[in-house]
Amino acid sequence: MTVGLPFNIPFLAVAALISISFIIILTQRNLIKLVMGIVIMQAGVNLFLVSLGYRTGGIVPIFTHAPEGAMVLPVPQALTLTSIVIGVACTALMLSLIVLTYRHTGDTDAEKSRILKG
């Protein structure tokens, strides 16, 4: 019989990543740092999805004739892969908009980018 820890480390890591990202998003005015906060939040959400699908002693669900036992859930893994692809595309879009904002205003400050209305 193994004695487990009284807490789940991956879920604590998720809470730490999301807390750090909220602090970054709420306190920073630099657009690149805001994007970094959003990417950290995405990493926390991906870790959360993978942690949900994990089962201790689980086997990989790719067998045609699977042995007896619990399998690791494949749906959170598929959602995580989809989230990574969408996150990369959104990050590229945000960074390209920051480059255009920098070319127009000469700064990456979020307050100065408000002059770009209309």
End-to-end Cα distance, the chain: 66
pTM for this entry: 0.82
Q: Domain limits of the chain?
A: 9-55+72-111
For domain 9-55+72-111, the question of CATH label 3.40.718.10 is answered with no
The whole-number pLDDT of residue 1 equals: 47
Q: What is the pLDDT of residues 36-95, one digit of tens each?
A: 999 999 999 999 998 888 777 777 777 667 677 777 788 888 899 999 999 999 999 999
HEC string for the chain: CCCCCCCCHHHHHHHHHHHHHHHHHHHCCEHHHHHHHHHHHHHHHHHHHHHHHCCCCCECCCCCCCCCCCECCHHHHHHHHHHHHHHHHHHHHHHHHHHHHHHHHCCCECCHHHHHCC
